[in-house]
Structure formats: C-alpha cells, structure tokens
Amino acid sequence: MKVIAVNGSPNKDGNTAKALGAMAEILEAEGVDAEIVNVGGELIRGCVACGKCASSEKNLCVLGDDIVNDTCLKMREADGIILGAPTYYAGIPGPMKACLDRVFFSSSRYFKYKVGTAVAVVRRTGGLDVVHQLMNFFNLAQTVTPPSQYWTVAYGMDAGEVLSDAEGMQTLRKNARSMAWLIKMIAATKGSIPTPDETVREKRVFTNFIR
C-alpha cells in the first residue's frame, strides 16, 4: 500500500513540505508507504486541450518533456493521493495547477475509488479556497475522501512555522490516519464487496447547457 503526496510549493523544504511530511510519518506508522513528489518548482506547461491523451500510449500527455507524466504514473500506481499546496492569491500556484490539469485530464479514470485528500498551507486567509480547488480534482475523479476534525488547512509563514499550528497539525494527523484506515478497508474488501460500477453499469450521460 502506498500514498503519493504531491507538493505544489516551489520551496521543497517549506511549510507545505513540512505538513506533507507530518502526514507521511503517520501513514508510515500505520504501515502505508508514502512518497513526496515536488512539482512546485518545476517548469510545467498547462494543458493545451489537444485531447491526444485519450488515444496516446498509456493515455499519457504528449507534452512529455517535464515531470507531469512521471508524476502521473506514480499517482496511478498509488492507493492514495495527497495534494498539498501553499496559498497564492487564495488559489493554487501556477505550476501545481498546470500539473494537475494535465494529470487529471489524462488519468481520472485511473484514480476512481482511490483515496484522495488535499492540504493547504496559508499565512492568514485563502486556505479554504485552495482546499476546495484541490478537492475539485478528486471529486470529478470519483475518489474516496478521508475525514478529519476540521478543514485540512495549516497556518505558517516562515519555514517550519506550520509545525507550531497545534490544531492544524492535529487535523492533518487525523486526516492521515483516516486515509490509512480507508486504504486498508478498500484493500481488505477488494474482491468481496463490488464497487458501485460493478453492481450497476450505467453508460455515462454527457451534456452541456446548450442542448
């Protein structure tokens, strides 16, 4: 069992990394391997809406000269995914957004019924917007979300300061424990309890607001 944590901060050792590291420690203690992948400091182009990933080998993005496809494959193979980002103007940093647009557009089908959660780090306000934006990717990919005691936002500005946010860090630890529990539950019931798609097969209805 493994979790991939995607760090959307350009600071590999900053507060977002510290928050993800604390969650990784809990997961490891619960018997779930955890790996942090840093994408925030990379040069990543946004999705160009070419649609080639629908027919390309392994459904990978044709813009293959950056970290996106490697990250995508790691996320597909994982049992759980954590998306972590700092707060930039109450939003996700550009490279993280570009990465996630391409990963989820090409790979949402591979993430279905995996366990996914999101973490935002913020100095003062705007963190909830980041969590909601990150969770939008999981919601559309039909992942399973682990609970916690509060929104998964941790506060800090200077490097390492987030570790002093007692309630925020406790919220992340509880979220990580819930994640490990859900991953184990899904693994334990695989083959004995069918997924909703296995019990009722419905063809996808796809419409727009014009017709």
What global pTM score does this model have?
A: 0.96
Give backbone dihedrals phi and psi of 205, rounded to 5 degrees, phi first.
-95, 125
Residues 81 and 116: beta-carbon distance below 8 Å: yes
Residues 6+ apart with CB under 8 A from 94: 88
Per-residue confidence (pLDDT) for residue 209, from 0 to 100: 83
Q: Which pLDDT band holds residue 206 (cuts at 50, 70, 90)? A: confident
- Per-residue pLDDT of 117-165, as tens digits, reads 999 999 999 999 999 999 999 999 999 999 999 999 999 999 899 999 9
Asked whether the predicted pLDDT for residue 210 surpasses 80, the reply is no
11 burial level (CB within 10 Å; 0-12, 13-18, 19+): middle
Look at 23-27, 44-48, 174-178, 195-199 and tell me which has the smallest mean pLDDT: 195-199
Which residue ranges form the domains of the chain, and what is each CATH number?
A: 2-199 (3.40.50.360)
DSSP structural state of residue 52: G
